Amino acid sequence: MNFESNISLAVDAIVFAYANSKLQVLLIQPKSGPFQNNWALPGGFVKTNEGLKDAVRRELQEETGIQVDYLEQLYTFGDQVDRDPRTRVVSVAYFALVNPKKLVLKADTDAAKAEWFPLDELPQLAYDHNIIIKVAIDRLKSKIQYQPIGFDLLNKEFVFSELEQLYMTILGHDIDRRNFRKKVLGFGILTETGKFRSEGSGRPAKLYRFNVSKYRALESKGFHFEIK
């Protein structure tokens, strides 16, 4: 059987952050290509001798100047054969969760700019990147209901109301705060720091930190973190 195949493999990175009570995503402006100076997700073509995660990490470093500790494969995008006007490109997308206060953006190599954008203020993006972000958000909304990934987006120490607000922001609706508090504290995955923070005219609020070792121990036993 004779057939012709000329497909390029690429990776795209959806990096989520939480700042100013909003979920944000990292975007870049390419220096070249068919969507030069349009906003897009960080990413690019995979080298012949390169693994997918290595390619994502390289592109993030080259285009935004950041390194991420954890990447999760999201989906492979290739059903739309003309998603890249240059040639047939299949892209494997990965997403990451970061605290932006720990990162310094620096556009370099193929990117003219690198900036954080609130999800409710996204511009029209290059390629099919608006679709990719929507798929990533849907995954995040699902994942946050059974795994406490939200802690990756907060400061090392936080008041409980910040955790509540984060969950409501990601889920896009209110939650039963009493049940949420009871469930989270009942799991024992938060540790009181002994410190307090004043919030408005009310009583100072306790500061917590995420207890990673406690969570890992629960996870090994089949722990299910369900929040609705």
> What is residue 134's predicted lDDT score, i.e. its pLDDT?
96
Q: Are residues 210 and 115 in the same domain?
A: no
- Same-domain pairing of 24 and 84: yes
In the structure encoding, which two tokens stand for residue 89, read together?
């490109």
Q: What are phi and psi of 73, to 5 degrees?
A: -70, 130
Tell me, what's the pLDDT at 22? 92
In this structure, the answer to whether residues 125 and 158 fall within a common structural domain is: no
Q: 33 with 84: CB under 8 angstroms?
A: no
Q: pTM for the complete prediction?
A: 0.89
Answer whether 16's CB lies under 8 Å from 136's CB: yes
Range of the domain at 76: 7-143
Instruction: Please give the pLDDT value at position 119.
Output: 94
The answer on 104 and 139 residing in a single domain is: yes
Q: What is the pLDDT of residue 3?
A: 65
Residue 66 lies in a domain: yes
Specify whether 69 is located in the same domain as 15: yes
Count how many domains the chain has: 2
| Any domain includes 23 | yes
| Radius of gyration of the chain from its Cα atoms, rounded to whole angstroms | 20
Residue 2 inside a domain? The answer is no
**What local confidence, expressed as pLDDT, does residue 82 receive?**
86
CATH number at residue 122: 3.90.79.10
Task: Find the CATH number of the domain harbouring 197.
Answer: 1.10.10.10
For residue 66, give the 3-state DSSP assignment: coil
Confirm whether 226 is domain-assigned.
no
pLDDT along the chain (228 residues), means of 10: 78 94 94 86 95 96 92 94 88 95 87 94 94 96 81 89 92 90 89 87 87 83 71
Residue 1 is assigned to a structural domain of this protein = no
Q: Which residues, including other chains, have CB under 8 Å from residue 97's CB and lie 6 or more apart?
A: 15, 16, 17, 70, 149, 152, 153
